[in-house]
Structure 1
Amino acid sequence: MKAGFRQSMAWLHTWSGLVVGWLLFAIFLTGTVSYFRPEISLWMRPELQQAAPGTRATEVVIAEMQRRAPAAPSWIILMPSERNPVASAFWRDPTATPRGFRQAQLDPRTGGDLAARATAGGDFFYAFHFQLFGLPIPIARWIVSFCAMVMLVSIVSGIVTHRRIFADFFTFRPRKGQRSWLDGHAALATLALPYHLMITYTGLVTLIALTMPWPILTNFEGNRAAYTAAVFGIDEAVPRAGVATPLTPVTPLVAEAKARWHGGEIGRVLVTNPGDSTATITFQQQDSDRVSVSRRTIIFNGTTGAVIATREPDGPADATRGVMYGLHVGRFGGGVMRALFFLSALMGSAMVATGTILWAVKRRQKSGAGAGTRLVEILNVGAIAGLPAAMAIYLLANRLLPVEMAGRITWEVYCFFIAWAVLLLHPLFRSHRRAWQEQLWLGAVLQVAVPVVNVVATPGSALAATLPAWRWDIAGIDLACLAFAVLLGGCACMVGREAAAPRQRRGAVQSAAAE
Structure 2
Amino acid sequence: MRDTLRNRMGWLHSWVGFVSGLILVVVFTGGTLAMFDTEITRWMQPELAVLPQTALTAEALNHAGEQMQALQGAGQMAFLSLPSERDPVLRILHYDGHAFVGPALSPRDGADLNVRQTQGGQLFFDLHQSLYRGPVWGNMVTEIVAIGLLIAVFSGLVIHFRNLVPDLLLFRPFAAPGRSWLDAHLMAGVLMLPFIIMITYTGAVIHGPRLFPMISNGHGGKAANRAGPDKAHGMASAAPLAPMWEQAKAVFGEGNIGFIRFEPRTISFYRSDAADFVMTRDHVDFSPRDGRQIGVKYGERGIQALGGVMRGLHYARWGTTGLRWLYFVCGAVGSAMMSAGLVLFVIKHRRAHGGTVKLALAEAFTLSVTLGLPVAALGFLWSNRLIAPSLAQRDLLEAKVFFLLWLCLLLHAVVRSGAGCVRAAWREQAWALAVLGCGLPLLDLLSRRGSGWTPQLDVYLAVDACAFGFGVLAMWGQSMIARDR
In the superposition, the TM-score normalised over structure 1's length comes to 0.83
Give the counterpart of 2:156 among 134, 158, 163: 158
- Separation in 1, partners of 2:71, 2:402: 40
Task: Tell whether 2:314 aligns with 1:328.
Answer: yes
Aligned residues: 474
Q: Supply the AA of the counterpart residue of 1:384.
A: T
Kindly report the root-mean-square deviation, in angstroms, between the aligned alpha carbons of the 2 structures: 3.0
Point out the more displaced range, 153-162 or 309-318: 309-318
Structure 1 alignment gaps of length 5 or more? 274-278, 503-515
Number of the residue aligned with 1:34: 34
Going from structure 1 to structure 2, the CA distance change for 1:77 and 1:340 (only over 3 Å counts) comes to: same
Q: Is this contact kept in 2: 1:87–1:105, CA < 8 A? A: yes
Give the counterpart of 1:78 among 77, 81, 98: 81
1:96-145, CA deviations, whole angstroms, 9 ceiling, x for partnerless residues? Answer: x99xx995321111111111222211111111222223x45422221122
Going from structure 1 to structure 2, the CA distance change for 1:87 and 1:16 (only over 3 Å counts) comes to: same
Number of the residue aligned with 1:199: 199
Going from structure 1 to structure 2, the CA distance change for 1:368 and 1:303 (only over 3 Å counts) comes to: closer
Q: Is this contact kept in 2: 1:466–1:474, CA < 8 A? A: no
Q: Is this contact kept in 1: 2:168–2:183, CA < 8 A? A: yes
Going from structure 1 to structure 2, the CA distance change for 1:442 and 1:152 (only over 3 Å counts) comes to: same
Number of the residue aligned with 1:300: 286
Going from structure 1 to structure 2, the CA distance change for 1:75 and 1:488 (only over 3 Å counts) comes to: closer
How do 1:86-101 and structure 2 match up within 5 A? 86-90=89-93
Number of the residue aligned with 1:170: 169
Q: Is this contact kept in 1: 2:256–2:274, CA < 8 A? A: no
How far off is 1:329 after superposition?
1.5
How far off is 1:290 after superposition?
1.7
Going from structure 1 to structure 2, the CA distance change for 1:370 and 1:235 (only over 3 Å counts) comes to: same
Q: Is this contact kept in 2: 1:51–1:86, CA < 8 A? A: no
How far off is 1:253 after superposition?
3.5
1:363-419, CA deviations, whole angstroms, 9 ceiling, x for partnerless residues? Answer: 224664544333212222222111111111111111111222233222212221222
SS at structure 2 position matched to 1:172: coil
SS at structure 2 position matched to 1:331: coil
How high is the sequence identity, in percent, across the aligned residues?
31
How far off is 1:56 after superposition?
3.5
Number of the residue aligned with 2:298: 312
Going from structure 1 to structure 2, the CA distance change for 1:364 and 1:67 (only over 3 Å counts) comes to: closer
How far off is 1:167 after superposition?
4.3
Q: Is this contact kept in 2: 1:59–1:250, CA < 8 A? A: no
Number of the residue aligned with 1:256: 247
Task: Tell whether 2:222 aligns with 1:228.
Answer: yes
Q: Supply the AA of the counterpart residue of 2:455.
A: L
Number of the residue aligned with 1:124: 123
How far off is 1:436 after superposition?
0.9
SS at structure 2 position matched to 1:159: helix
How far off is 1:486 after superposition?
1.5
Give the counterpart of 1:467 among 446, 452, 455: 455
Point out the more displaced range, 349-358 or 72-81: 72-81
Structure 2 alignment gaps of length 5 or more? none
Q: Is this contact kept in 1: 2:62–2:242, CA < 8 A? A: no
SS at structure 1 position matched to 2:110: coil
Larger Rg: 1
How far off is 1:312 after superposition?
2.6
Number of the residue aligned with 2:432: 442
How far off is 1:194 after superposition?
0.9
How far off is 1:356 after superposition?
0.5
SS at structure 1 position matched to 2:35: helix
Point out the more displaced range, 370-379 or 26-35: 370-379
Q: Is this contact kept in 2: 1:185–1:354, CA < 8 A? A: yes
- Separation in 1, partners of 2:254, 2:40: 28
- Separation in 2, partners of 1:481, 1:243: 46
